[in-house]
Amino acid sequence: MSLSLQTRSLGDIAVVTCVGRIVEGPDATALDSHVKDLLPVQPHVLMDFRDVSFIDSAGIGILVRLLTRARAARGDLKLCAVSSHIRDVLRSTKLNTILNAYDTEVDAIAAFCAPADSVEAPPSLDIDIVCVDRSADILAYLREVLRRAGYGVTTTTNVADSRILIRATRPKVVVVGSGMRSLLADELSGHSRVVELSAHFSTDDAGEAAQQVLDQVGAAIVG
């Protein structure tokens, strides 16, 4: 069975789900090319290994080279859901000190956002605000407005992914589209700093709508 690769964006992180074996030859080459193509746009890469049955020395070598490229692009590469056998390989070769493996996506995403523990470590993702809306256009607008105001922002249209991001990043504020708050009731329970967009946000005057969100976010952070 040849290696299958699927990628989705989870906020600013590219999650690459690998299914099959990572071995020398076409499979390792495909993985190398796939991740290299992501790095110019998404230098933070999480590789989901839950369905990786085997990896050989060449495959490990590919991971090390991709990690180097990710960090050169001011990002990082992490693994999650790694089998006990592959963990043992990383531990016995001491590569577990550079190829960080986590049990779950939530754990790995949280690690991307944790403060750097040394000057050599890659910069962490600075997330103050998670924005969730069904419209990618609205999210693009919110992301730029909030970033230009000095906030660290990540966005998603996917409710399931937003649950992961909220649990992992523990943002100062969550901005949700109109009518979406109830879909995130469990994650937002006890989270007082929630800003819900008005039902007319997308058709309101752009400048006024942006200022209203900035005011609400600022008040939520202070209060």
Higher per-residue confidence, 114 vs 29: 29
Q: Tell me which of 83, 113, 143 is where a domain ends.
A: 113
Answer yes or no: are the C-beta atoms of 142 and 155 closer than 8 Å.
Answer: yes
**Confidence band of 109 (pLDDT split at 50, 70, 90):** very high
Residue 191 has pLDDT above 80, yes or no: no
Torsion of CA 78, 126, 9, 180, to 10 degrees: 130
Domain span including residue 88: 4-113
E strand or H helix at 106, and its extent?
helix 105-113
Indicate yes or no: pTM above 0.85: no
- Closest residue by Cα to residue 81 from 50, 108, 112: 50
Are residues 91 and 148 located together in one domain of the fold?
A: no
Question: Residue 92 burial (CB < 10 Å; 0-12/13-18/19+)?
Answer: exposed
**Confidence band of 189 (pLDDT split at 50, 70, 90):** confident
Residue 122 has pLDDT above 70, yes or no: no
Residue 87 has pLDDT above 70, yes or no: yes
- Whether residue 50 is contained in a domain is answered as yes
Percent with pLDDT over 70 in the chain: 94
Which pLDDT value is given to residue 117?
A: 60
102: tokens are 């986590």
pLDDT in tens, 170-188: 899 999 999 998 999 888 8
**Confidence band of 1 (pLDDT split at 50, 70, 90):** low
Mean pLDDT across 197-223: 90
Are residues 76 and 150 located together in one domain of the fold?
A: no
- Whether residue 205 is contained in a domain is answered as yes
Q: What is the CATH number of the domain that holds 209?
A: 3.40.50.2300
Q: What's the CA gap between 149 and 84, in Å, rounded? A: 44
Q: What's the CA gap between 78 and 156, in Å, rounded? A: 20
Are residues 88 and 138 located together in one domain of the fold?
A: no
Query: Helices 136-148 and 206-222: crossing angle, nearest 10°?
Result: 60
